[in-house]
Structure 1
Amino acid sequence: MKQTGFWYRLDSAARAIIPFVLTLLLVLLSLLPFNTPDYAPVVPSLAMPAVYYWAVFRPDLLPLWATFLIGLVQDLLTGVPLGTGIMMLLVVHLAVMGQRRIFTNSTFPMLWVIFALFSAIAYTLGWGLAALLMPMMPSGDPVMLQYALTVASYPCLAWLLARAQQLFLN
């Protein structure tokens, strides 16, 4: 018997936006101020592992337009040249969508390596776009550290997102 009542539709809609909301919360979490000097330029992108995770496991719940909005919010809140974060998140999302067959039977270490590769491409393109849009050439050192921290954050975030998926979406 298929349920079609108001509460069922409301519950379904609420569950469908969970990946978007969780990824936006990770954007906000990455903006929390810490009393660590020079932390802001190297804070890891918590949205990138989330976009990757949802694009791999539930692409139906995080479409490209949602990824674009997350990137836009991230760009507006971080003050980077507008479009940089958008492009980086879209590159990761599109890379996953273009290679979906790889992910069907991949182990976690393989998913992590692929994330590191896709993130390296996204960070390189993001740095290049920032270099074009900024009056001065940005240093690559903070970008490399930010990339390393983002890749290192993937296992923890993937675990948390998997628990959220089990709790809310299954």
Structure 2
Amino acid sequence: MNAVAFGPVLDYSRRVVPGFTILLMILLAQLPVPLPFFPDITPALPLMAIYYWVVFRPDLMPRILVFALGLFQDALIGAPFGLSALIYLLAHGFVLNQRPFLVGKPFWVFWTGFAIVTPVAAFLTWLLASVLRGAILPTDVVLMGMVLTVVTFPVIAWALLHSQRWLVGSAETS
């Protein structure tokens, strides 16, 4: 088999990396982080990956993929079906709109953008889950999860950056 035959396979492989990393983040998010007094807290790993890929490779992050991954997460964790999908679609739309401001800026601007998206997504998730449950859910776990998410973002962004460099490449400009 010659190198030309591998071209379409490699192109397809590059295109599935962002979706695969988000799927991996959904699965990793099911592992609790052992914190005293807060045993059920996990960072919002899928939100981190969605934010990263929408900023740096929006061509590989279509809304339908974000929606499907959100539905998968809801089915996996037993959340109201469509809740994560809605939150992820709203985050996708907001980040895509703010993308021109974020691309090419220092990391602290990129991180600050994520630090703005995270509490909005956490609050909307809490609000919608409370409405759907018919009761006000506790906020302490939400707040601690939000802090943990923002604090761990640089590590996840670093890993995603390297996966982009090694497996995906940069966006092609036309």
TM-score normalised over the length of structure 1: 0.90
Counterpart for residue 159 of structure 1: 158
Give yes or no for contact 1:75–1:81 (8 Å, CA) kept in 2: yes
State the shift of 1:132 in Å. Answer: 1.0
Counterpart for residue 42 of structure 2: 43
Deviations 1:66-117 (A, max 9, x none): 1111111111111222222112212221111111210123210111111010
State the shift of 1:134 in Å. Answer: 0.6
State the shift of 1:35 in Å. Answer: 6.8
Give yes or no for contact 2:66–2:85 (8 Å, CA) kept in 1: yes
Aligned positions of 1:61-72 closer than 5 A: 61-72=60-71
CA distance in 1, matches of 2:33, 2:151: 19
State the shift of 1:4 in Å. Answer: 9.5
Taking structure 1 as reference, are residues 12 and 77 closer, same or farther at Cα in structure 2, changes over 3 Å only?
same
- The one-letter code of the counterpart of 1:134 is R
Give yes or no for contact 1:87–1:126 (8 Å, CA) kept in 2: no
State the shift of 1:16 in Å. Answer: 0.5
Aligned positions of 1:91-106 closer than 5 A: 91-106=90-105
State the shift of 1:31 in Å. Answer: 1.0
Give the RMSD, CA atoms, in angstroms: 1.9
Q: Which runs of 5+ in 1 are unaligned?
A: none
SS in 2 for 1:17: helix
Q: Which runs of 5+ in 2 are unaligned?
A: 170-174
- The one-letter code of the counterpart of 2:167 is F
CA distance in 1, matches of 2:32, 2:17: 25
Give yes or no for contact 2:102–2:113 (8 Å, CA) kept in 1: no
Give yes or no for contact 1:46–1:153 (8 Å, CA) kept in 2: no
SS in 1 for 2:60: coil
Worse-superposed segment, 92-101 or 51-60: 92-101
Paired residues, number: 167
Deviations 1:97-156 (A, max 9, x none): 111210123210111111010111111111111111013221111111111111112100
CA distance in 1, matches of 2:145, 2:28: 15
State the shift of 1:160 in Å. Answer: 0.1
Instruction: After the TM superposition, list the runs of 4 or more consecutive aligned residues in structure 1 that deviate by more than 6 angstroms.
Output: 34-37
Aligned positions of 1:46-57 closer than 5 A: 46-57=45-56
State the shift of 1:38 in Å. Answer: 4.8
